[in-house]
């Protein structure tokens, strides 16, 4: 698998590529299956349909890896927080974690109940071509905690930050509970067929540097070290979004560092390129325009070159209104321009 070879910094015939959020609303095929499922969460629960949408971008775009179709928020859901996706508004939890009593009520061993995710992984792996990799994933403890504490997406992270500064021990207890669940969750994903695993820290950039290192990166590293110890051959990818200013403080035991689009790729290469394989980082909005897209590709490949150590991706997820033809063209373009 060229994607897995690249994660291990082995020589590959071209730079492999996949796209964050490559399964989703920009594909009419996805919308058709989602309609059949009824709701987004019902689609996550139905392994047969989730397998179908996981495979769609591999067939349509010819990317080098599939990422399992699910959501980071199924973990808090199984920890006892009822979840709803409200159209136009995003995810909402009816219960929140604000007090130590709330935290104590969180269920343990939730990862054992995520059988629909494991079923989707094994079903997908059995249908996926042998040369395509299958990626499992989870959210970071900090990013999951913000949803559990706020109850929904947030621009200010009011309750999470209040807890961080006024009751750090409570926040840490929640983060540690999540960390234990996520270790078990990624382990079972690997056992079910994931060839690599990725941790999404989408709201990394909400925190100042020292708070970030203490309340998020520390737990990301703990999860990564646990996986590397138990599954040394499975690549671990970490994606902290919005921390371009803290790259000199990034360390730990993992394979691939996901570079978001707001981080200059040369800066990531300078600080981290010799230690970690870099993944990224085309600004997704460049896909609105073919010329802007090609300029972005050329810039990234001019920095990362054709040497081992780079996986092409967007610097954040596909947007629902991006033209699919441009996504297809991107995959072909990267493959041609990076061919050794
Ligand atoms: O193709 C893939 O990348 C795999 C599937 C995937 C989804 N969510 C499906 C999804 C992955 C990897 C995620 C991760 C995820 N979910 C993150 C981290 C990555 C990131 O984008 O920063 C976060 C923060 C979430 C939480 C979440 N899920 C939000 C905020 C939303 C609503 C926002 C929106 O785009 O509407 C979701 C819903 C969601 N997750 C959709 C999909 C395809 C859209 C649901 C729909 O069909 O309406």
pLDDT at site 113: 98
Residues contacting 245, CB < 8 A, separation 6+: 209
Please pick, among 30, 147, 157, 246, the residue that the annotation labels catalytic: 147
Instruction: With 0.85 as the threshold, say if the pTM is over it.
Output: yes
Using the mean position of ligand 1's atoms as its centre, give its distance from the Cα of residue 21 in Å: 7
pLDDT at site 87: 86
Choose among 340, 338, 254, 326: nearest CA to 300.
Answer: 338
Which residues form the pocket of ligand 1, taking CB atoms under 6 Å from any ligand atom? 20-25, 34, 40, 67, 69, 71-73, 85, 90-91, 137, 139, 153, 200, 202, 317
pLDDT at site 307: 87
Is 147 annotated in the active site?
yes
Q: Is the pLDDT of residue 172 over 90?
A: yes
pLDDT tens, 299-320? 999 999 988 999 999 999 999 9
pLDDT at site 35: 96
Using the mean position of ligand 1's atoms as its centre, give its distance from the Cα of residue 306 in Å: 31
pLDDT at site 224: 98
Where are the strands (E) in 182-268, listed by range?
Answer: 196-201, 236-240, 256-259
Determine the average pLDDT of the residues in 179-190: 98
Of the residues 32, 89, 317, which should be mutated to test ligand 1's pocket, given the most ligand atoms within 8 Å of the CB? 317
Domain 2-338: state its class: alpha beta
Please state, as a whole number, how many other Cβ atoms lie within 10 Å of the Cβ of residue 170.
Answer: 18
pLDDT tens, 238-251? 999 999 999 999 99
Apex 15 CA angle, 11 and 17, nearest 5: 135
Please state, as a whole number, how many other Cβ atoms lie within 10 Å of the Cβ of residue 300.
Answer: 25
pLDDT at site 306: 87
Round the average pLDDT of the chain to a whole number and report it: 98
Choose among 287, 272, 183: nearest CA to 236.
Answer: 183
């Amino acid at each position: 698998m060229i994607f897995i070879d690249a994660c291990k910094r082995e020589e590959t015939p071209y730079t492999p590529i996949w796209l964050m959020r490559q399964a989703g609303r920009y594909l009419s095929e996805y919308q058709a299956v989602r309609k059949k499922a009824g709701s987004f969460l019902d689609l996550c629960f139905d392994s047969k349909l989730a397998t179908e949408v996981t495979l769609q971008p591999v067939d349509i775009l010819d990317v080098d890896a599939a990422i399992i179709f699910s959501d980071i928020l199924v973990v808090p859901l199984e920890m006892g927080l009822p979840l709803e996706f409200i159209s136009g508004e995003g995810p909402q939890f009816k219960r929140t974690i604000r007090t130590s009593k709330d935290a104590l009520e969180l269920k343990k061993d939730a990862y054992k109940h995520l059988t629909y995710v494991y079923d989707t992984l094994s079903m997908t792996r059995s249908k996926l071509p042998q040369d395509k990799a299958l990626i499992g994933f989870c959210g970071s403890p900090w990013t999951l905690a913000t949803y559990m504490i706020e109850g929904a997406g947030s621009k200010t992270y009011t309750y999470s930050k209040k807890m961080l500064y006024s009751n750090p021990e409570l926040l840490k207890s929640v983060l540690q509970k999540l960390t234990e669940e996520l270790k078990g969750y990624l382990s079972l994903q690997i056992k079910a067929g994931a060839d690599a695993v990725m941790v999404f820290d989408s709201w990394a950039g909400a925190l100042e540097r020292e708070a970030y290192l203490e309340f998020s990166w520390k737990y990301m590293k703990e999860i990564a070290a646990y996986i590397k110890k138990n599954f040394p051959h499975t690549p671990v990818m970490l994606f902290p979004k919005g921390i371009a200013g803290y790259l000199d403080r990034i360390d730990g035991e993992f394979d691939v560092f996901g570079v978001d689009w707001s981080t200059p790729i040369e800066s990531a290469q300078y600080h981290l390129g010799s230690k970690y394989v870099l993944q990224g980082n085309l600004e997704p909005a460049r896909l609105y325009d073919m010329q802007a897209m090609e300029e972005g590709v050329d810039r990234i490949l001019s920095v990362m070159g054709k040497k081992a150590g780079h996986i092409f991706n967007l610097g954040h997820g596909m947007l629902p209104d991006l033209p699919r033809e441009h996504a297809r063209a991107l995959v072909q373009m990267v493959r041609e321009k990076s061919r050794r």
